[in-house]
Structure 1
Amino acid sequence: MYIGIKHLHSGLAYLALVALVIVIIYALVGSLSNREFTEKDRKFALIAFILSHVQLLVGLVLYFVSPVGISLLSGEAMKDPVARLTTLEHPLINILAIVFITLGYTRAKKSELSRAKFRSIYMMYAIGLVLILSRIPWSNWLG
């Protein structure tokens, strides 16, 4: 079960990252071109929103079923940069990133002006993306 969830978390990460990048670019272009925010635009943002949230849920499940998840939460593990990244930094920063993505999507839904909707999506999704990229354990993921 652990291996399957780990592979799902890694594979889904590619989809979530690509979706975030596409939506950020799409919303930026929409804002700069002053075009009307449509239902299609909302659905694109929703796809990235859903993928990032599913990725978070799979990651949280992985955290609790992993042999190295919670067991590393100790003072000694916090001295090891790799253990600290896996155990503390990666989960917390990614939860924060999902909060920013959620805020962007929610603010876009509540905004009246198209430009404000686009701006909310590209700014908040971009902050979320940068946070996610900053805490990916690249050596584990690509190795």
Structure 2
Amino acid sequence: MAYPAVLFLHSWLRWVVVVLCLLSLGRSLVGWLGGREWTRADRRLQLFTVSAFDTQMLLGLVLYFGLSPFTPRSLEGGLRASLAIPTLRFFSLEHPATMLLSLVCAHAASALSQRAPVPVSRHRAWAIGLLLAMVLVSLAIPWPGLPHGRPLLRGF
């Protein structure tokens, strides 16, 4: 019973992450290219974005290590056996590894932007890191139409 609920939350929270990333990226690009000050609103949006990433990763880890039937722990042969099957390889290795890299990019960009000496540098560091994180996220989403694809909006 827990698996469907956590999977549902994980599926829907991705859209919160995507929307917050797009909002953050838009604000940072405007700030970077327009020479705007780094404001409290910028920092709050950055915190919400990174927090959404963290929550999404936490749900993913709960699925990976505890609930999902598509992870090495739940398979007889473990990781080695799952690598031979594309869908299992995606969910047991490619998806979690790429999403972890995207989380690292978001955190690194947040930290670098906070250490930047001037507002334009803050916006630039956050925008570049967030853009890289978003590219990685887009590569790791199980888009419909792919052999391992899932629905864009998981039903209730």
TM-score interval (norm. to shorter): over 0.9
Matched with 2:71 is 69
Distance of 1:117 and 1:29 partners within structure 2: 12
Matched with 1:118 is 123
Corresponding residue pairs, total? 143
Shift of 1:77: 1.8
2:150 to 130, 137, 140: 140
Gaps of 5+ in 2: 144-148
1:81-115 CA-partner distances (Å, limit 9, x unpaired)? 11111110000110011000000000111112000
Shift of 1:69: 1.7
Q: Percent identity?
A: 30
Distance of 2:138 and 2:62 partners within structure 1: 20
Q: Does 1:92 align with 2:97?
A: yes
Q: 4+ residue stretches of structure 1 with deviation over 2 A?
A: 70-76
Change (3 A) 1:35 1:74: closer
Gaps of 5+ in 1: none
Distance of 1:75 and 1:4 partners within structure 2: 28
Matched with 2:17 is 16
Distance of 1:74 and 1:8 partners within structure 2: 25
What is the SS of the residue equivalent to 2:107? helix
Distance of 1:87 and 1:113 partners within structure 2: 41
- Structure 2 counterpart of 1:37, which letter? W
Q: What is the correspondence of 1:38-49 to structure 2 with a 5 Å cutoff?
A: 38-49=39-50
What is the SS of the residue equivalent to 1:141? coil
Q: Does 1:28 align with 2:33?
A: no
Root-mean-square deviation (CA, aligned residues, Å) is: 1.3
TM-score when scaled to structure 2? 0.87
Distance of 1:131 and 1:141 partners within structure 2: 19
Report the structure, 1 or 2, having the larger helix content: 1
2:71 touches 2:88 (CA, 8 Å); kept in 1? Answer: no
Shift of 1:67: 2.0
Distance of 1:32 and 1:60 partners within structure 2: 37
Matched with 1:81 is 86
